[in-house]
Amino acid sequence: MSEDGGQRTLRVGILADPGLPEAAARPIAQGLAGALRRVVDPGCRWDVETLRGALPLTEDGHIPLLEQAAELRARNRWDYVVYLTDLPRSHDGKVMVCESSAEAKTVLVSMPALGAWRVGAAARKLLLGALGSLHGGGGHPPLPRRTPFRASTVQRQGAEDVSYTVVSGWPGRLRLLAGMVRNNRPGRLLSALSTCMAAAAATGAFGIFYTTMWNMADVLPPWRLALISAATVGALGAWLIVHNGLWSRGLGPEASARAGLDNAATIATVALSVGLMHMVLFMVLMAGSLVVIDAGYLEAELGHPVGPLDYARLAWLAASLGTVAGALGSNFDSDEAIREATYSRRDRQRRRLKDSFED
């Protein structure tokens, strides 16, 4: 805290994990200082700054923010420390959104618990309530209105200092799952599946040259084509999860529940990635079939006038065939690269700690 022309200045430092928390930190900081002055303390000048950094995880996979809060405040001359992490947190079996300490003057926000949409706005409102509570002398942070936390409860633990904002029930778990999938950024997996993509494209392109494929695509109804696509996407996704060791196991009720959530996020991430690969493959094969296959020749083979929909059905079936063949190509992709592309940075660290502990 400092004096600026007789006006007290309070500095809030937002320390963010690399990745999506870091990307969200600057939009969150914008407007937070003005909101703190309007809502919390009009007599203070609030200064909010962001910093990229990651505190090392403890052996049990937790972030030691409380233990390092004093050093962070002293080193950066902050009055309050806000830590944004992409690590999912829980408390007493419930999804933890926020952890705050009046004594340490810290607020930790688990970004995945905010969901996948309007994360910055929700985090800003949450921080406004938490920092207002700390500045007002402690107490649990009030839950802001018009945010996803209406069903949240606040639990206190131990010496009446640390408070936890948690969300109970399935809505909170579904929101956490959506946030975990968002943090995993499914599109990144495509770059790690280069050989898989090449094998899928080659097989699909080979398929559009066969008249048997033409006739089969012509007689299959759209619902069967959709069913075939879903089956092939599921088959390749299951192969990637099993072959690359992406499945988690937990010993004990709490660990099993966490493993189940991890596996659900993994399934959704891989399924979205493979589904995106299927769509890209479809567009490539659609363009290729329009260039290679003459419309008159295709019409003579099928026995009826053809249009863009006939080419689309052919590319659809060929893309499904190529997706199955992609499983063979995935054997030559790097297992470590696939794991890095599937999980966020913090989640990879937590999984490595868990694996080393089990070993």
The owner of tokens 């994990």 is 17
Q: Are 164 and 154 in contact (CB under 8 A)?
A: yes
| Closest to 196 measured CA to CA, from 24, 66, 349, 337 | 337
Range 348-357 contact pairs with CB under 8 angstroms and sequence separation of 24 or more: 349/57, 350/57, 350/61, 350/87, 351/248, 353/57, 353/59, 353/60, 353/61, 354/61, 357/59
| Closest to 163 measured CA to CA, from 91, 224, 113 | 91
pLDDT digits (tens, 9 = 90+) for 140-183: 444 444 444 544 545 555 555 788 888 877 888 888 888 888 88
Q: Kindly report the average pLDDT of the chain as a whole number.
A: 80
pLDDT at res. 4: 55
The owner of tokens 């403890």 is 58
CA dist 79 and 153 (Å) reads: 27
Question: With 90 as the cut, is the pLDDT of residue 206 above it?
Answer: no
CA dist 283 and 315 (Å) reads: 8
DSSP string, 226-261: HHHHHHHHHHHHHHHHHHTT-----SSHHHHHHHHH
85 phi/psi in degrees, rounded to 5: -130, 150
How many CB atoms are located within 10 Å of the residue 22 CB? 19
pLDDT at res. 347: 65
Question: With 70 as the cut, is the pLDDT of residue 5 above it?
Answer: no
More confident position, 60 or 5: 60
pLDDT at res. 254: 62
Percent of the chain at pLDDT exceeding 90: 16
pLDDT at res. 108: 92
pLDDT at res. 337: 65
pLDDT at res. 109: 92
| Closest to 96 measured CA to CA, from 150, 153, 165, 142 | 165
| b/e burial code for range 83-104 (CB count within 10 A of at least 16 → b) | bbbbbbbbeeebbbbbbbbbeb
Residue 64's pLDDT band (cuts 50, 70, 90): confident
Evaluate the CA torsion angle 30, 31, 35, 41 in order and state its sign. Answer: positive
pLDDT digits (tens, 9 = 90+) for 74-89: 998 999 999 998 888 8
More confident position, 197 or 219: 219
The mean per-residue pLDDT over the stretch 309-337 comes to: 81
pLDDT digits (tens, 9 = 90+) for 267-284: 888 899 889 999 999 999
pLDDT at res. 335: 61
Evaluate the CA torsion angle 27, 33, 34, 37 in order and state its sign. Answer: positive
Paired tokens of 31: 């407007």
Evaluate the CA torsion angle 28, 39, 161, 173 in order and state its sign. Answer: negative
Amino acid at position 60, single letter: D
pLDDT at res. 287: 92
CA dist 211 and 219 (Å) reads: 13
Could you give the domains of the chain?
2-175 (3.40.390), 186-343 (no CATH)
The mean per-residue pLDDT over the stretch 326-347 comes to: 66
